[in-house]
Amino acid sequence: MTIKIAIFGGSGYGGSELLRILFQHPNAEIVFVTANEHAGKAVSEVHKNLLGLTHLKFTKAPENLESLSDIDCVFFALPHGQAMENAPKLPSNVKVIDLSGDFRLSDAAVFASHYGREHSAMNAQSQFVYGLTETNRKAIKSATRVANPGCFATATLLGLAPLVANNLLSCRVIVDAKTGSSGSGAKAAANTHHPQRSNSFYAYKPFTHQHVPEIEQELKSIGEWNNELIFMTHSLPVSRGIFASIYCELKKEMPAVEAREMFADFYRNSFFVRFVEGSPDINWVKTTNFCDIGFATRGRQLVVFTAIDNLVKGAAGQAVQNMNLMFGLDEKTGLMLIGTNP
């Protein structure tokens, strides 16, 4: 099988990672990749790591999206607000995977509150399946439209899903999550400029992060979720990686070995979830599609630690994992990405 692919928004970090992964995918043929401000430039001129690997050039986005019936799959790696304007115009036979937040939330008012804009395509939103592969695999397999999860949401949901599915949580959950600077995008901003961030550490968007409603929305689909969620995000002085510490109180005492066994059973068919002794480390998952999970317990208190690469499992890697399922491929295809040491 050859999957003819178009990437909208190929100049950012998400687009760069899609290109890096799909160039090695045995079933992928990238027909075109857009980047309006770089139209006409070689892809390898913008993404130097791809030098010598492709002759593709960036193009402007086609004006007539309705004519793209010969494309099998479209990835949107655009800023929030742009996919909702374009995805509904695509032919129904074209499968769509959106890496932005445009189609993750089913409530228009919640979307407007957290993204600061009105949703213009709620009719189309109802066609999108939430793309957390490990919890929604069956629905993704038959989907034509997938909303890829946010990076923080991925790290948090993978750490909470088994607990919610087994109805083990007794009170509020506190998530202390930290991310590298690449999560802020390829264009420099005041708070992501290297001299500002390299030796710094700070919290941002307390109680207001846009990934909170999608986390709670998905947890309610997994099991009984009526708990209070306190979710805090922090800026790490590294380029890649998310590390989440998830603090829970359970309805019963659970030693770390029992927690690990329960998680392992829940993720028994999930190759990209790995379990470690003690704490994971973002260095072990960088450039890979793995989520590493560790545990610490004291009586009824449980801390779940998760680590992912925000650009791979938190974005492009999970998007390709979903594409594989949508086209009937083994979900590991093209994603056997090995990390580095150190």
Q: What is the mean pLDDT of residues 2-19?
A: 96
SS3 annotation, 82-113: CHHHHHHHCCCCCEEEECCCCCCCCCHHHHHH
Q: What is the pLDDT of residues 193-208, one digit of tens each?
A: 777 777 889 898 898 8
Which DSSP string corresponds to 266-306? HTTT-TTEEE-SS---HHHHTTSS-EEEEEEEETTEEEEEE
Q: Whole-number mean pLDDT of the chain?
A: 94
Q: pLDDT tens-digit profile of 279-312?
A: 999 999 999 999 999 999 999 999 999 999 999 9
Catalytic residues: 151
pLDDT at 186: 67
What does the pLDDT look like over 139-148, one tens digit per residue? 999 999 999 9
At 219 the pLDDT is 97
The fraction of the chain above a pLDDT of 90, given in percent, is: 88
Q: First CA to last CA across the chain, in angstroms?
A: 36
- Taking residues 253-264, report their average pLDDT: 95
Check residues 126 and 195 and name the one with the higher pLDDT: 126
pLDDT band for position 341 (50/70/90)?
Answer: confident
- Residue 107 confidence (pLDDT) above 70: yes
155-171 pLDDT, tens digit each:
999 999 999 999 999 99
Residue from 132, 99, 131, 105 nearest 117 by CA? 105
CB-CB contact of 19 with 312 (8 Å): no
Residue 126 phi, psi (nearest 5): -65, -15
Task: Report the pLDDT value the prediction gives residue 188, as an integer from 0 to 100.
Answer: 66
